[in-house]
Chain A
Amino acid sequence: MEIRELTCIRCPIGCQLTVTVDGDNVRVEGNNCPRGAEYGAKEVTNPTRTVTSSVRVEGGELPLVSVKTATDIPKDKIFAVMEEIRALTVKAPVHTGDVLIRGVAGTDSDIVATKTVLYTKP
């Protein structure tokens, strides 16, 4: 049996949750609404995050383009995702929404640009 203390972030109230995991049974206490129960359960069974970072651009009007994972990825993949992002350099122009890495770090999420960086002559 595992007991975890969490702060719910589904709204500004920030209920202090106590989540008890006992095999397949997950019990959430301290929440004031169903969203808190859902958050608590997901955090202990399948926590996910959006990762945002930036990627080097060659020949662009800015040296970097900001990027994100198009969908949430498993929390334990954050650093694996960062490693692939850090290894990447792209050529200008890059437009918001451009896919820069498909299926990053073995997930089914893509790395997409969140900024437009146009080409400038060096």
Chain B
Amino acid sequence: MDRHDLIIIGGGPAGLAAALSARENGIEDILILERDVRLGGILNQCIHNGFGLHTFKEELTGPEYAERYAKRVIEAGIPYKLNTICADISPDREVTYVNAEEGCVTVKAGAVILAMGCRERPRGALGLPGFRQAGVYTAGTAQRLMNIEGYLVGKEVVILGSGDIGLIMARRMTLEGAKVKVVAELMPYSGGLKRNIVQCLDDFNIPLRLSHTVTRVHGKERVEGVTISEVGADRRPIPGTEEFYSCDTLLLSCGLLPENELSKSAGVRLSRVTGGAEVNESLETSVPGVFSCGNVLHVHDLVDYVSEEASRAGKNAAAFIKAGGMRERGRVITLKGEGGVRYTVPQTIDPKNMEDKLTVRFRVGDVYKGKSLAVYYNGVEVRRVRKRVMAPGEMEELVITRASIPEDTDEIIIRVED
């Protein structure tokens, strides 16, 4: 069986940044496995701009951002395989992949970085009433068909869910001549970025109906229209509020789910909240030597944070490999979100392996105005940061310093408070 020091599953923004960082930290023998025809992942279909403001201090489109990283990976001579699906990862880090040239191959990895990204919540998971008619797409599928394959998926469109991809597609389809009639959002607030609501909906006078959902999809062979109803505080449709919109296409932008089937086969413990792996300060999962980063770990709002996080995963995987796969572990401090903080990444910290400063990322469960984030070590408040606005659609972060953690700490809690 062949062996590589480091195998990275996925050649999107997370996998590329992880590979570069591992190489910068002295790992020569790296292999990236990518299932698509080129490196870059979903960025290749995200042709809109707004990427890279943090990383490159300029506004790039998705393909440009991807190409910058892909170029650096190619220039660094880091090997990668395209059109290659990873089929299995075992708990002892044997990676099985499949492609047309080699067939089915199993290789041993000194360390594995999970960078598979996420996928969209599909129609079947939404309980949408109606027949299985043509014309219902997830927003990302429509985006791929339009921006990579060159098909306009419909002419009269209703969008359910106001996630960023749905908003971006509302603008994209409008620019290509389709009529986007309405965006319905179940929640009383949008899950998308503010700038997307302004530049993708307001600019084109597309109405956003908050606290509304699709209660019927009309048409048997093809979508002929949808019924939209207002929902109450219990998120159930209110009878009598039904409105009919005639359309030929329904796009779904109803959340992203980390794609962790491979992680499960490797025995990685997953978080019920994020759907991604539970990780320690080194972004290492419950399986030693298996690291996770990017949208497969938790869904990010900006790719810049994916790249930053993935660089840390690459660096930590390099340290694991250079230490011969044996890392001394000290105490474990549990890190938790409570009272409005839905989760934290990482979920545990070993102060011994922690860098001087650790960025903790999380999301809040509601829209909060004028509240604070409070940090408790063993029940004692150590910090309080005032926040003008926090929203579920945007990630929050706090930096925890090693020097600030007392010797006997075993629990750190972050809460939303007044």
Q: A residues engaging B (CB < 8 A)? A: 6-7, 9, 12-14, 32, 49-54, 56, 61-64, 66-68, 75, 78-79, 82, 86, 96, 114-116
Contacts and interface: CB of A to CB of B under 8 A. Distances in A.
Contact of A14 (B148, B149, B194): B194
Contacts of A12: 193-194, 389, 391, 394
A121 to B, nearest CB: 16
Contacts of B195: 9
Contacts of A116: 67
A64 B188 CA distance: 38
Interface in B358-393: 388-389, 391
A66 B198 CA distance: 23
| Smallest CB-CB A-B distances: 3 pairs | A66-B47, A9-B195, A14-B194
A66 B67 contact: no
Interface centre among B175, B197, B388, B391 (most CB of A within 10 A): B175
A50 to B, nearest CB: 5
B47 A52 contact: yes
Contacts of B59: 50
B198 A115 contact: no
Determine chain B's interface SS by DSSP, over half rule: helix
A6 B59 CA distance: 22
Given A14-B389, A62-B148, A115-B67, 20 more contacts: A7-B202, A9-B198, A12-B194, A49-B199, A53-B47, A54-B150, A61-B37, A63-B148, A63-B150, A64-B147, A66-B147, A68-B47, A68-B61, A78-B175, A82-B175, A86-B176, A96-B63, A114-B47, A114-B61, A114-B63
A6 B67 CA distance: 35
Contacts of B101: none
Contacts of A14: 194, 389
Contacts of B198: 6-7, 9
Contact of B203 (A61, A68, A75, A86): A75
B49 interface: yes
A32 B369 CA distance: 14
Interface string B40-67: 0000100111000000000111111001
Contacts of B147: 54, 64, 66
Contacts, number: 75
Interface of B: 37, 44, 47-49, 59-64, 67, 146-150, 175-176, 193-195, 197-199, 202-203, 388-389, 391, 394
Contacts of A32: 388
A6 B34 CA distance: 43
A54 B194 contact: no
B175 A115 contact: no
B63 A63 contact: no
- Residue among A75, A79, A115 with the most chain B CB within 10 A? A115
Given A9-B199, A12-B389, A53 B175 contact: yes
A2 B391 CA distance: 31
Contacts of B62: 66
B397 to A, nearest CB: 12
Contact of B49 (A56, A68, A79, A82): A68
